[in-house]
Amino acid sequence: MNNRTHRAFKADIYTQFARVTKALSNPHRLELIDLLAQGERTVEDLAREADLSIANASQHLQELRIAHLVSVRREGLYAYYRLADENVFRVWQAVRELGEARLSEIERVRRTYLQARETLEAIDSAELLARMNKNDVTLLDVRPVEEYRAGHIGGAISAPVKEIESFLRKLPKRKEIIAYCRGPYCVFSDEAVALLRARGYKARRLATGFPDWRAAGLPVEAHGTM
C-alpha cells in the first residue's frame, strides 16, 4: 500500500466511523436512544416522551437509521423503532460514563435539578442481586407498563409511578422496597421512593436502570404482569 492509498484508506475508514459520532451529536437523538433502550416504540410515543413534534422526532430517527443505529418495522399506519442491537446502548452508556468522568458541568446540572436525590440512598446492581437471591426485597419497576412488558428485571412488579398509590395496599412493609426506572437520569424512581417513604415504607432506588442491568447480563424477563 503506497502512501496515497494509505491516506485514502484512512480518510475513508474514519469517515465511516464519523457517521456514528455525527448521528450521536445531538441531545434529542441521545434521548431517543435512551428511550429506545427500554424497548420498541412508535414515532408518536417517542415524540410524546421526548417532548418533540412527530415531524421532528421522525427526522432525528431517520438520522439514527442512516447510521444504522436504529431499525424500523411497519405495522399498518405505524412505524415501530428499536435499537439496532445492544451495542448501540453500550455506546450511549460509554458516552454517559465518559461525560460524567470528564465534564464537571454534568455534576453541576445533576445537583441543580436532582437536589432531592441526595437524601435518597441508592443501591447498586450487585447489592440488589444479592438481596434478590435472599428474597428479602420487593422490587418495583416504576416505568410505564409498556416498557415493563418489553423487558424488566426478573421478579419485578410493575407499578408505574403515576399509579403507585393504588399499589400501596399490596406492598408488604416487612421488606425493603427497591424502585428502578430507565436509568441514572430518570426521576421516576426518585418520585416513587419519596412517596413510599412518606407512607412509612422503607425504600431505596436502584442507582442505574433496566438497560444497564440487562447490559450487565443480569436476570431479565418480558411480558409479565402483576
HSE-up of 190 (CA within 13 Å, CB side)?
13
CA 166 to chain centre: 25
Which residues are within 8 A (CB) of 20 and not within 5 positions of it... i.e. 6 or more apart?
A: 67, 69, 91
Write out the three cell numbers for 173. 412493609
pTM for the full predicted model: 0.92
Alpha carbon distance 44, 61 (integer Å): 12
Q: Is the pLDDT of residue 172 over 90?
A: no
187 closest CA partner among 158, 162, 217, 150: 162
Active site residues: 181
Write out the three cell numbers for 11. 480518510
pLDDT digits (tens, 9 = 90+) for 10-32: 999 999 999 999 999 999 999 99
Alpha carbon distance 95, 89 (integer Å): 10
Phi, psi angle pair for 186, to nearest 5°: -90, 135
Could you give the domains of the chain?
3-88 (1.10.10.10), 108-221 (3.40.250.10)
206 closest CA partner among 221, 223, 218, 198: 218
Alpha carbon distance 209, 152 (integer Å): 10
What is the greatest pairwise CA distance in the chain?
74
Sign, Cα dihedral of 163, 197, 220, 32? positive
If pLDDT is split at 50, 70 and 90, which confidence band does 74 have? very high
The answer to whether the beta carbons of residues 142 and 188 sit under 8 Å apart is: yes
Virtual torsion, Cα 196, 202, 208, 209, nearest 10 deg: -50
User: Rounded mean pLDDT of the chain?
Assistant: 94
E strands in the chain: 41-42, 70-75, 78-83, 122-123, 137-141, 152-153, 157-158, 176-180, 203-206, 220-221
Phi, psi angle pair for 10, to nearest 5°: -60, -40
Q: Is the pLDDT of residue 132 over 50?
A: yes
For residue 223, the SS3 value is coil
pLDDT digits (tens, 9 = 90+) for 78-127: 999 999 999 999 999 999 999 999 999 999 999 898 887 877 889 999 99
54-71 mean pLDDT:
98
Q: Is the pLDDT of residue 173 over 70?
A: yes
Q: Is the pLDDT of residue 224 over 80?
A: no
